[in-house]
Structure 1
Amino acid sequence: MKKTNLLSLVLLMAATMLAGAETRLVPADYSAIQQAINDSNNGDVVIVSPGTYQENINFLGKSIVVTSTDPNNPEVVATTIIKAILKVRGDVSSIGSVVTFENGESPEAVLAGFTITKGYGTANYSIPDADYVFWGAGIYCSNSSPTITCNVITGNNGPLKIEGNDPEQWRLGYGGGIACVQSGAIITRNIIQDNSAYAGAGIMTYLGDAKICNNLIYNNSAFVGGGAVIFGGFLINNTIVSNNANLGGGGLVGNLYIACYADFGQTTILNNSICNAKSGGGVLMEGECSDSAFTFNNVWGNLPVNYPGIDNNTGQIISDDSADRTGQSGNISQNPCFRESYHIASYSPCFNAGDPNYVPYPWQRDIDGEYAVMGVQVDIGADEATDNARPVANAGPDQHFDTLVGNVVLDGTGSYDPDIMDVISYQWRQISGPNVTLVNPDAAQPNFAPVIGAVYIFELIVYDGSSKSAPDSVTIVVSNQTPQPRRR
């Protein structure tokens, strides 16, 4: 996949921080990341040089950026490591979560460009009858909405201990890589791999409206939901592959477990590639998951079945034909033809197969930092293919003139090619209205002279030398005629 030098989300945020913000360097100014956080004020940036930092960090409710020296450089991310340590308080010892957001942090609290490892999880005693649950071995978000981007979250292991019938003796990990409890976190462009937990080894949400976009979630192991467990929130354009439900002797749903209930808030599963679960099946939906909750996903090659159910008599995993969403609401089941690191090419059935009406979040980029939509429509999965992205035509805004004018200029300058080195050419033509002569129809801004008061419609296609765009049209109304609706 062609790389670009788009500014990272972190740098964009850092550039807009309030005047007077300080940059704090670790280890040049502080020997530990937490020391720098403790001294920081809202708007500060903590920059961490490569090294292994054996500590657990807490953002303490501060709107600060904590970043490696280059979150977009995989070598920097791999060598800038936050590794959890054993904490001892009196007679009690625990490891806890590697990173914690639990004091109402906003999206301006940013964690970017680290390897997060060796966490265990944090108990949340505010949740009734769940004292035995340890949330977020790698990263724990509770009643907070931070931004978590460009990290590798790996080797975090939540507990799986059930002894007898007394829950006080149990220890269960929810969210091996990340757990979000009543959280609106933005979780984007992370690699979440090789984590384990009882439920949601890769990631788990519980209430809230977390936005989980363009992450690679693979090779995680749980008893329930090896890749992800979603109890509310937005799971959009992720690649969830090769996860397992084999922890504790074998469980349920290797890749994705979804629960749709009104109490959990909105659940949206959109444009994801959910493939190659090693055990437990691909996707299980519990509750009232409407057709609109699960759309434009590719569910393929999961073992033993793509959409599992449970035999009430034997407890065994079975194929549940009634749950199969293939062919409904844009969902497909085809070999995604992955290339290296689970990228796709234009020959993949996931290419241009996502929701044609999807509008990405302003901050959203694909797993490599490129635009979230590069072609005619968004791809399925974390990667947006750019072998040769089709250019995009923009014929400009409709225009309305109350009187007959002598000259009208069309405006195609909003057209673009996602491959920024490509040069586009313009092809205008009239498709409706009294015939006129279009001057310079191969230019970005041709013009014409209306002959009478009427409705004139023109179409624009742009070409990059390899691919033509989808057409876009513009309506010109002259002399009090009402504009006609047009389709883009």
Structure 2
Amino acid sequence: PRPYDATDRPRGDGSDLDIGAYEFIGTAQPNPLPNRPVNESPMDGETLLGFVFSMVSSPFSDDDPEDDHVASQWEVSLTNDFTDIWGGTGYTKNFLTTLRAIVEGEPFPAETTFWWRVRHADSYGAWSEWSVPTSYQTRAPGALLQVPQDFATIQSAIDNSVDGDEIVVATGTYKEDIDFLGKNIVLTSTNPLDATVVATTVIRLSNSRFPTVNFSRPTGQPTFPTLTGFTIHGSPFGIDCNGADATISHNVVKSGPIDQCDGFILDNRIEGGEGILDPDEALIEGNTILSGGIQGQFSFPTIRDNLITGVSGRAITECHGLIEGNTITGVSGRGIAECHGLIQSNTITYNGFGGIDECDGTIRNNLVAFNKTPTNSGGGSGIVGCDGIIEKNIVAWNSTDTNASGIAGCDGTIKNNLVLFNHAVGGLGGPPGGGGGIAGCDGDIYNNVVYGNSTERIGGGIWLCDGNIRNNIIWGNTAAEGDQYYESSVPSYCCIEDWNGGGTGNISQDPLFIDPSNRDFRLLSTSPCIDAGAFVRSVTSDYWGDPRGLDGTVEPRGDGSNYDIGADEFLGKELFHLGSDIDGTGWVDAVDLLRLRDEWKAPVSEPSEIDLNGDDRIDSTDLDILIRDWHRGTGPG
């Protein structure tokens, strides 16, 4: 307080105010140092169950009752003289008497002896002596930790785990959020393959500000943890992988996304939230996705054999790795959009805003059918705006209230596709339009069947296409104007119903399909399309994988290359061993089917006679080819 009379001599103006920032009140008393703290936990020489998840000192004490504990300093050393400091906090206000598991971002390694000490600072910045150092040893990895038998909570088990441990969680509801803390551990229910166990082993977080499951990476180093067999519920942030190479399998995710996982997302059921976000280079396989879809951000995951249905919005977007064998049905948006890798062997049906949109990689062996686009959507309900190779797809029964229902606005090569029964109303709310089959495509169009498509306005079959158009069958399409072929470049070597528009090698005779009413668009032996096409260097096989250029008739036709018009290359009985006759007996029968069954879903590392379409997979496409050829050949025996 000012003023204070500290001298009996007259000074100043007589007010006894001192000059300067301090008022002298008598002889200064030294500030006592805080008392030396004591290491309370872990105890000296203790072998810990897991990492050190809390080092605890005694409470702050000071002979001056007005002093407060304002800071601490912690040191952890690999030697008892602290000449080899392993970690520490420096000056910290956050860890006064307890230090959590990680010191400056790095977890404690296993099977290592450490010494630790701490000192306290008071309000005046005075430090106590260091505590007497004590030692502890972390244990070996590979332990089995059980919840709740060994630990009451999942997080406490994680806290006490080391790399290589497995944590097994009994059935029950665990109301907590958990963090793997950068550890390479396995967290599992008692049986991830039992749906009842998964449904009754629940991690449920009521605090919506945090993920239910977090894979933090304190050191920034790659981590490879596993989460399997749980129902995840509660937080809109779901599972946050933070780029960890995590394996997430056999879980039911009821809320929140699986976000930024670079590892393996396998056989999960995603029922709520935003689905799978930003998967980078993850393998996404065997999942059932009912919410959110798979949404990348310049990501390159492998997406294989998933069911995506009932999703609001797009099913798969901005994922540029392999997309293969998925079933995408009943979503409100596009099936696959803005994905520029290989898209093959997918079933994309009954979606509310089209099938495949703006994907510039190869699109092969897909079924794109029964998709729709609404009024004023811009049209395009099948394959739209894709500039890579489009081959060996079935694009059928798609419909739009505007323009272009089959393949539209695609500028890459379109070859060996079946474009069937698509319908476009055409031009609602704008200038006249249409395009039932293939419309507005400026790439080359080779060896397709464009059949039964329709529009209420212009261009039932092919419309507004300016590339090389060769070896196509364009038949049975209808429109108010231009049933088969309209406002496109001059075709060559095509079979076009009622054609009289010129061009080299075109014919207008009935192509004589085997059974178009049952969607069998292979050629009868009497078809005028056999050998009537022209050589195309980029077309070496047909829709079913049979080689092109086989001589199927003695008549001179086409350009002499023996290429057939359409998606099918007629083989004839004498050549049937080239296809589905796997055992080479000249007849496709149960023995061939059993051979295919034995190799079902097996990886193909080199050419195989069982891989009937040559796509390096033994799957439903090969089965479809075998069924097509059932009991055909030169005869039993």
Using structure 2 for the length normalisation, give the TM-score. 0.40
Distance in 2 of aligned mates of 1:119 and 1:216: 21
Q: How far does the alpha carbon of each residue in 1:57-116 deviate from its partner, in whole angstroms, 9 at most, with x for none?
A: 1244343322127xxxxxxxxxx333322xxxxxxxxx3x221026xx2xx432423224
Amino acid at match of 1:149: Q
Deviation string for 1:415-454 (max 9, x for gaps)? x677333369xxxxxxxxxxxxxxxxxxxxxxxxxxxxxx
RMSD: 4.4
Q: Give how far 1:303 is off.
A: 0.8
CA distance in 2, matches of 1:320, 1:346: 16
Counterparts of 1:114 and 1:101, CA distance in 2: 18
Q: Secondary structure at the match of 1:344?
A: strand
CA–CA distance in 2 between the matches of 1:258 and 1:56?
A: 29
CA distance in 1 between counterparts of 2:280 and 2:477 reads 45
The equivalent residue for 1:98 is 315
| Alpha-carbon contact 1:299-1:334 (below 8 Å) kept | no
Structure 2 letter corresponding to 1:390: L
Q: Which has the larger radius of gyration?
A: 2
Matches within 5 A, 1:67-466: 67-68=304-305, 80-85=307-312, 95=313, 97-101=314-318, 105=320, 108-120=321-333, 137-141=334-338, 144-158=339-353, 176-180=354-358, 183-197=359-373, 198-205=378-385, 209-222=387-400, 223-246=402-425, 251-260=433-442, 267-279=443-455, 280=457, 281-286=459-464, 289=466, 293-304=468-479, 305-308=483-486, 324=501, 328=505, 334-339=511-516, 342-347=519-524, 349=527, 355-360=534-539, 366=543, 370-371=545-546, 373=548, 375-376=550-551, 388=573, 390=575, 419-422=581-584, 466=634
Post-superposition offset of 1:229 = 0.9
Q: Measured at CA, do residues 330 and 30 of structure 1 come closer, stay the same or move farther in structure 2, by a change above 3 Å?
A: farther
Q: Deviations over 1:152-199 (max 9, x none)?
A: 2122233xxxxxxxxxxxxxxxxx21112xx53111111111112332
The residue number in structure 1 matching 2:261 is 38
Going from structure 1 to structure 2, the CA distance change for 1:334 and 1:383 (only over 3 Å counts) comes to: closer
Q: Structure 1 residue 273: deviation in Å?
A: 0.3
Alpha-carbon deviations, 1:9-36, whole Å to 9, x = none? xxxxxxxxxxx99895654487799628
Secondary structure of 1:390 counterpart? helix
Distance 1:420 1:356, change over 3 A: farther
Would you say the 8 A contact 1:59–1:100 is kept in 2? yes
SS in structure 1 at match of 2:413? strand
1:63 aligns with 2:63: no
CA distance in 2, matches of 1:419, 1:358: 27
Residues 1:321 and 1:31: Cα distance change in structure 2 (over 3 Å): same
Offset of 1:55 from its aligned partner? 2.2
Classify 1:296/1:342 alpha carbon distance in 2 versus 1 (closer, same or farther; 3 Å).
Answer: same
Classify 1:322/1:307 alpha carbon distance in 2 versus 1 (closer, same or farther; 3 Å). same
**How many Å apart are 1:359 and its aligned residue?**
4.6
C-alpha change, 1:343 and 1:465, in structure 2 (3 Å) is: closer
Give the SS at the match of 2:409.
Answer: strand
CA distance in 2, matches of 1:276, 1:185: 28
Q: Which residue identity lines up with residue 332 of structure 2 in the other structure?
A: G
Evaluate the alpha carbon distance shift between residue 84 and residue 42 of structure 1 in structure 2; reply closer, same or farther with a 3 A threshold.
closer
Structure 2 Cα separation of the partners of residues 99 and 155 of structure 1: 15
**8 A contact 2:513–2:522 mirrored in 1:** no
Kept in 2: contact 1:202–1:220 (CA 8 A) = yes
Contact 2:505/2:533 (<8 A) preserved? no
Q: Indicate how the Cα distance of structure 1 residues 29 and 178 shifts in structure 2: closer, same or farther if over 3 A, else same.
A: same
1:239 Cα shift? 0.5
Query: Which TM-score applies when normalising by structure 1?
Result: 0.50
1:202 maps to amino acid: G
Give the total of aligned pairs: 301
Higher relative contact order (CA 8 A, sep 6+): 1
SS for the counterpart of 1:61 is: strand
Looking at secondary structure, tell me which structure has more strand per residue.
1
- Over 3 Å counting, the alpha-carbon distance change for 1:345 and 1:334 in structure 2 is closer
Sequence identity, in percent?
A: 20
CA distance in 2 between counterparts of 1:35 and 1:372 reads: 44
The C-alpha deviation readout for 1:243-294, integer Å capped at 9, x for no partner, is 112267694121111343xxxxxx111110011123343334437x25xx11
Opposite residue 390 of structure 2, the aligned amino acid is: I
Aligned to 2:291: 54
Q: Which residue of 1 aligns with 2:136?
A: none
Structure 2 CA distance for partners of 1:355 and 1:320, relative to 1, 3 Å? closer
Give the 3 Å change call, closer, same or farther, for CA 254–28 of structure 1 in structure 2.
same
Q: Distance in 2 between matches of 1:340 and 1:37?
A: 48
Deviations 1:187-218 (A, max 9, x none): 11111111123322111126xx4111111111
Structure 1 gap ranges (5+): 1-19, 70-79, 86-94, 121-136, 159-175, 261-266, 311-318, 393-415, 425-463, 468-488
Go from structure 1 to structure 2 and tell me whether the alpha carbon gap of 1:372 and 1:216 turns closer, same or farther (over 3 Å shift): farther
Q: Is the 8 A contact 2:286 2:305 kept in 1?
A: yes
Cα distance in 2 for residues equivalent to 1:33 and 1:347: 55
Using the alignment, how far apart are the partners of 1:423 and 1:23 within structure 2? Answer: 49
Do the aligned partners of 2:284 and 2:301 also contact (CA within 8 Å) in 1? yes
Whole-Å Cα distance in 2 between the matches of residues 353 and 244 of structure 1?
29
Note the C-alpha offset of 1:322: 9.6
Amino acid at match of 1:347: L
Asked if structure 2 preserves the Cα contact closer than 8 Å seen for 1:325 and 1:331, the reply is no
SS of aligned partner of 2:261: helix
